[in-house]
Structure 1
Amino acid sequence: MSRRDGPKTFTWLHLLDWEVNSRVSNFHRARLLEDIKRLHDESGSIDAVILAGGLTSRGRRDEFRRLGEELNSLLSEINALGSNPTFVAVPGYTEIDQKAVDLLWDGGRRSVVDLVSSETEFLDDDTRGHLFDAFSTYREWARDYPFGQVERPVAVPGDFALTVSGTDCHVGLVGLNTVWVRPTKRPSEGPAALHPKQLQAVCSPNPGAWVREHDFCLLITYHGPGWLTPLWRPAYRAEIAPPGRFALHLCGKPDELYGDSWRQTIPLVVPTSSSYGGREGSVEFVLGTVRVESGLQSLTLRPRCYDKPKHSFVPDPGFDPAVVEAYRHELARATRGTKPVPRPPGAAEPDSGLIVEQMELFDIRSLEQLAVGFDLESKLPGRWTCLAGINGAGKSSVLQALCLSLLGEPLIQELGGERLERLRRLNANERRLAQIGTWFREGPNRHYVEVKLRGHKQFASEDEEDLSRSMRRIWRELRDHVIVSYGATRTLSDYEDPRHLSLSPEVRRQITLFDPLAQIASAETLLGARPKDKVLHRLFAALVERVFGDTLRVVIDRGKVRFITQKERLEAVDLPDGFRSLAAWMADLCAVWCEKFPKQARNGRTEDIDALVLIDEIDLHLHPSLQRILVPRLRETLPRVQWVVTTHSPLILSSFDSAEIVALDRAEPGGIRFLDREILGFTTDEIYRWLMDTPANSGAMEDQLAQFAGNSTSLVKSDLAAMLEMSPEVTEDQAKERVRRRAERLEKFR
């Protein structure tokens, strides 16, 4: 591949529903060509023409012949403008042979589940034969027509993957057939289908590796993801189009699932409605451009609608360019590389590690919409995500949303309807539908789970109930992993709180994130109520020693945990607040690890602990001297833990790579500030000013100076001058002496 230092660009024309033989006037087609020419003059060369289904009216051979003639005319017009685009297409409903479909579905007596084997062959030979017969006319046309697709083994006819060139860039185009499952005879009905083996066949053997060979990739289908039934939707999100794989998903039929077709998702779904339908208000085509410069992608989309009174094409009034700008920042984070699972020498391994990759949320508390990546490649070891931002930015909301999505149904109901109701964003005195989607992997397997909060009833529609049932198996398997959450209070008291004893263990381990008065689940480990557990005590003592150093040590006194600090022996409840809050979650983490992985825990190695840990205000009550070293020591001591934490401390923030910091800021596109530099070498004052937008000097002194300017200060002028003179190197007496001498010198010039 050629590479220059300059920008790389790729422009495409996205059409739908050409529908040869449909009643469309030559006048309308002429207006379409005029608008394409006008946009070409403004945007430059078109590199690809993409037709997302609806090529003919009935799928007859004579229609495909006429389609070729009309497309030749269109491409000739574009060639005359100075472009030489690649042409690609995916089939729609009208490209299916109905007789073959009837054989495929055996008169409606076969279901989708009957056809698909997710574990082995995907489709048996008999089914494949009928399926390929159903698209035989389309396949003949695709084989003979001179466009970019090439004949290769595919799982479903109409699928393809190819590389096309733009301005010094190489773009992957992947087209997948979504109409091959159609149990009804009405062409506008029937579920949409996408199976991971379709992608694996055209991007063999490894879709992820194929994608990485390109500057970026586009996915093309007839249906948007909202048309996928619950059987197919999780696989689409987890295995076909996980965050960062495709820059965009170009489709035909707008999503019913999302309502607003332009609602921001990853990948961004770009729909059209009909290229030659002439329906007023519908998006008839989209001209798009991706520009890559210095590793960052910028995106321009120009959706066009037909205005009948004006007899011309105009910009889509429902399209908000701010959506594209926000998505660009999310895509920049999603396309950063992910880190391999660390393997410390000699460390024991659980069956498969859990790694959370991405979360997308809508209408959670104060957050209208947000996408957060949790597994981005950084220069530092370990897996860390640090959420930063002002009070009310949504840091705790992100932790709560992630926790909910991993608990899943039915466990989240244990949190209570009132608590779940408060998590839904309030807008105009009404609670909005809240939605959380999370991508994660277990070993080589990727998964996607989705939670919707509709007040006291979750997954209200029949379709959503099916989706919930399909995901409950994944949520049950997640219970085998160590997933713990700790709120910003992390109470540890000898008072026995009975309020949450009836909760399942999985929910109790997260409850402090939702109830500020709740006690950490394994508090009995430190309070002495737990039976003697030498394995747990040894592991906890090792963790405390490596994190606290000589500042705090653990001793076991007659089976009970005691602490030694400054030569004093203390019980857990008597520890200083900072030590107590830190030791409390550390003990809980060790207890859960010993419970779920007793064999590995017997080694007593902190490096073996494999967990997902969410902590609100990780610096809670800690002295700056401990804040400064906390994260580096946890990186070394617990290298296999994935951390998602929040903080307001510049010393904590200075311990992170820029890829690990999620700086929440509602004024920024996408709600996250993009960090264009590392802050590892910043002083705390520089972090205050640059990242936290906060002056590093005293607010009280600023008030006094303002009052002095208004002649209303309560301080003597000389005292105020002395305060400004003081520094770590200048004492109060020295400052006053300097001020006195300076005043004497000035007096001589009067």
Structure 2
Amino acid sequence: MTKPLPYALQKIEIDRFQCIKKTCIQDLTNRTPWIFLVGENGDGKTAFLQALTIGVCGAKNALNILEQQRENCRIRLWLWEDGQYEYKELSWDQETQLHTHLYTPREWGPGGRPDYYCAYGPSRLEIQGDQSIGQERENIDPEKNLLDQRGNLRSIERWIKDEKLEENENPKVGVRLDNVIRLLVRLMPNVSEIRLKGKHLRFREKGYWASINEVASGHKAILAMAGDILIRLFERQPEETEPENLKGIVVIDELDVHIHPVYQREFPKLLSRAFPLVQFICSTHSPIPLLGAPENSRFFVVERDEVSGTKVRDVGVDVCRLHPNALLTSPLFNLEALFSECLKDYTDIDPEDDYNKIRERRILEEKIEKISQTDNPIPKDWIEG
């Protein structure tokens, strides 16, 4: 059975935020490792994740969003913080352009926000330049990448260089550094080794030693986000050396961006193995990450119409028991037709679900066609197969 998470969302109510008139997710538990949001473009997935983030972190990095509100809004949250049940509420008055934020500051860091919470928008390729750690902390709050698309991520390359300088003085630093590099290699497909050469990281990507600017965009997106998570949560738990002991909540908008379908399925599972004490809340346009969802994950559909605005619904789909085609046609995605537009006759459809089996059958059909044009008999096992 899934272990309880120290930080987890239990319930959220959103009233009149952007395209959301009124919606609610409730009855979540602290044994839910992943929460997935799916829905069409423009239905309000990003708005929901931004409302959640503002409710947790406050309005510091969201004033540009709140000032565009056309009416008052309210966001209410119930969640576990380090095992304790907490309530938060943020209200925005459109007329006065002022907000009130009710929260328990026990879990808040020196930056005036909770330091267990990280949030990422779909643009995850920009990494902060060569600044001091103090400058990075000042310029980049952990939720800024989601709330402000200009929010760059902390530099894991710079962090590793700084850790390397302290390695001889503190044995724990060396252990932590080795663990981080091993974790990053596990998370990035087709990267077999990472080395620090001089002032820069090098990545062995399919036999080629690439710099951080040369690696594939998918690898760079994974590196940037995972690196940012590691830096922030290790800063919160400075005595910790094992990434698997880091605790928090991570929000990811458009999880599938930049990632090949083969790896989309593996990514949720790998992230949960790397950070088993972190709850992940994400949106995705692709059904494939759902196939890799860990046990006890929850799945919600975000829908929007002109009358009701954006609604978030639990459609009760048991993803782990569905064939991929059934997942696409389920209420989660509502894809009515799975066939190519080039298909003229449905009788031409290959009945197999596995491409290798289709290829084997076509080769066999070609053999049968050739031998049928001769006087030789067709082998019985060919026909029965």
Asked whether the two chains share a fold, i.e. TM above 0.5, the reply is yes
**Is residue 268–residue 289 contact of structure 2 (8 Å, CA) maintained in 1?**
yes
**Is residue 245–residue 277 contact of structure 2 (8 Å, CA) maintained in 1?**
yes
Residue aligning to 2:334: 693
Larger radius of gyration: 1
**Is residue 203–residue 212 contact of structure 2 (8 Å, CA) maintained in 1?**
yes
Query: How do 1:249-288 residues align onto structure 2 when only pairs under 5 Å count?
Result: none
Q: What is the CA deviation profile of residues 415-437 of structure 1, one whole-angstrom value per residue up to 9, with x for unaligned ones?
A: 44x33223x3xxxxxx1211111
**Is residue 130–residue 158 contact of structure 2 (8 Å, CA) maintained in 1?**
no
The alignment status of 1:680 with 2:314, answered yes or no, reads no
The alignment status of 1:627 with 2:273, answered yes or no, reads no
Task: Give 3-state SS (helix, strand or coil) of 2:23's partner.
Answer: strand
Residue aligning to 1:291: none
Which of 67, 71, 74 pairs up with 1:432? Answer: 71
Residue aligning to 1:483: 117
Deviation at 1:537, TM superposition (A): 3.6
Residue aligning to 1:593: 233
Deviation at 1:390, TM superposition (A): 1.4
The alignment status of 1:454 with 2:93, answered yes or no, reads yes
Task: Give 3-state SS (helix, strand or coil) of 1:508's partner.
Answer: coil
**Is residue 8–residue 30 contact of structure 2 (8 Å, CA) maintained in 1?**
no
Which of 202, 208, 216 pairs up with 1:562? Answer: 202
Provide the C-alpha distance between the structure 2 equivalents of 1:442 and 1:377, rounded to a whole number of angstroms.
10
The alignment status of 1:660 with 2:294, answered yes or no, reads no
Query: How do 1:495-510 residues align onto structure 2 when only pairs under 5 Å count?
Result: 504=138, 508-510=141-143
Which blocks of at least 5 consecutive residues in structure 2 are unaligned? 168-172, 371-385
Task: Give 3-state SS (helix, strand or coil) of 1:583's partner.
Answer: helix
Residue 247 of structure 2 aligns with an amino acid whose one-letter code is D
Q: 1:637 to 1:503 in 2, by over 3 A?
A: closer
The alignment status of 1:540 with 2:177, answered yes or no, reads no
Task: Give 3-state SS (helix, strand or coil) of 2:213's partner.
Answer: helix
Deviation at 1:594, TM superposition (A): 2.3
Residue 4 of structure 2 aligns with an amino acid whose one-letter code is V
Residue aligning to 1:356: 9
The alignment status of 1:401 with 2:51, answered yes or no, reads yes
Q: What is the CA deviation profile of residues 22-46 of structure 1, one whole-angstrom value per residue up to 9, with x for unaligned ones?
A: xxxxxxxxxxxxxxxxxxxxxxxxx
**Is residue 433–residue 452 contact of structure 1 (8 Å, CA) maintained in 2?**
yes
Query: How do 1:196-207 residues align onto structure 2 when only pairs under 5 Å count?
Result: none
How much identity, in percent, do the aligned residues show? 18
Residue aligning to 2:380: none
Task: Give 3-state SS (helix, strand or coil) of 1:648's partner.
Answer: coil
Deviation at 1:686, TM superposition (A): 1.6
Q: 1:370 to 1:658 in 2, by over 3 A?
A: farther
Deviation at 1:546, TM superposition (A): 3.4
**Is residue 354–residue 481 contact of structure 1 (8 Å, CA) maintained in 2?**
no
**Is residue 86–residue 104 contact of structure 2 (8 Å, CA) maintained in 1?**
no
Deviation at 1:645, TM superposition (A): 1.0
Task: Give 3-state SS (helix, strand or coil) of 1:564's partner.
Answer: strand
Deviation at 1:652, TM superposition (A): 0.7
**Is residue 359–residue 436 contact of structure 1 (8 Å, CA) maintained in 2?**
yes
Which of 22, 29, 33 pairs up with 1:376? Answer: 29
Deviation at 1:395, TM superposition (A): 1.4
Provide the C-alpha distance between the structure 1 equivalents of 2:38 and 2:276, rounded to a whole number of angstroms.
22
Provide the C-alpha distance between the structure 1 equivalents of 2:302 and 2:215, rounded to a whole number of angstroms.
33
Which of 7, 12, 18 pairs up with 1:365? Answer: 18
Q: What is the CA deviation profile of residues 442-471 of structure 1, one whole-angstrom value per residue up to 9, with x for unaligned ones?
A: 3453221111122484556xxx6xxx4x64
Range with bigger deviation, 552-561 or 684-693: 552-561
Residue 486 of structure 1 aligns with an amino acid whose one-letter code is Y
Q: What is the CA deviation profile of residues 547-598 of structure 1, one whole-angstrom value per residue up to 9, with x for unaligned ones?
A: 3466443222235322111111111221111111011111111111222211
Provide the C-alpha distance between the structure 1 equivalents of 2:160 and 2:244, rounded to a whole number of angstroms.
27
Task: Give 3-state SS (helix, strand or coil) of 2:10's partner.
Answer: strand
Provide the C-alpha distance between the structure 2 equivalents of 1:543 and 1:374, rounded to a whole number of angstroms.
33
Q: What is the CA deviation profile of residues 367-422 of structure 1, one whole-angstrom value per residue up to 9, with x for unaligned ones?
A: 111112484376xxx621111111122211121111111212xxx24444x33223
**Is residue 8–residue 29 contact of structure 2 (8 Å, CA) maintained in 1?**
no
Residue aligning to 2:66: 420
**Is residue 375–residue 383 contact of structure 1 (8 Å, CA) maintained in 2?**
no
Kindly indicate whether structure 1 or structure 2 has the higher relative contact order, using CA contacts under 8 Å at least 6 residues apart: 2
**Is residue 406–residue 475 contact of structure 1 (8 Å, CA) maintained in 2?**
no
Which of 40, 44, 49 pairs up with 1:390? Answer: 40
Deviation at 1:683, TM superposition (A): 2.6
Task: Give 3-state SS (helix, strand or coil) of 1:599's partner.
Answer: coil
Deviation at 1:693, TM superposition (A): 0.6
Aligned-CA RMSD value: 3.9
**Is residue 33–residue 296 contact of structure 2 (8 Å, CA) maintained in 1?**
no
Provide the C-alpha distance between the structure 2 equivalents of 1:530 and 1:415, rounded to a whole number of angstroms.
32
Task: Give 3-state SS (helix, strand or coil) of 2:182's partner.
Answer: helix
Which of 579, 584, 599 pairs up with 2:224? Answer: 584
Which blocks of at least 5 consecutive residues in structure 1 are unaligned? 1-337, 343-352, 425-430, 706-719, 742-750
Q: 1:674 to 1:482 in 2, by over 3 A?
A: closer
Q: Report the number of matched residues.
A: 347
Which of 644, 665, 671 pairs up with 2:281? Answer: 644
Residue aligning to 1:519: 152
Residue aligning to 2:162: 531
Provide the C-alpha distance between the structure 1 equivalents of 2:138 and 2:45, rounded to a whole number of angstroms.
26
Provide the C-alpha distance between the structure 2 equivalents of 1:496 and 1:726, rounded to a whole number of angstroms.
55
Deviation at 1:363, TM superposition (A): 1.3
Q: 1:398 to 1:581 in 2, by over 3 A?
A: same
Residue aligning to 1:93: none
Q: 1:676 to 1:658 in 2, by over 3 A?
A: farther
Deviation at 1:730, TM superposition (A): 5.2
Residue aligning to 1:317: none
Provide the C-alpha distance between the structure 2 equivalents of 1:444 and 1:560, rounded to a whole number of angstroms.
39
**Is residue 658–residue 679 contact of structure 1 (8 Å, CA) maintained in 2?**
no
Provide the C-alpha distance between the structure 1 equivalents of 2:346 and 2:301, rounded to a whole number of angstroms.
38
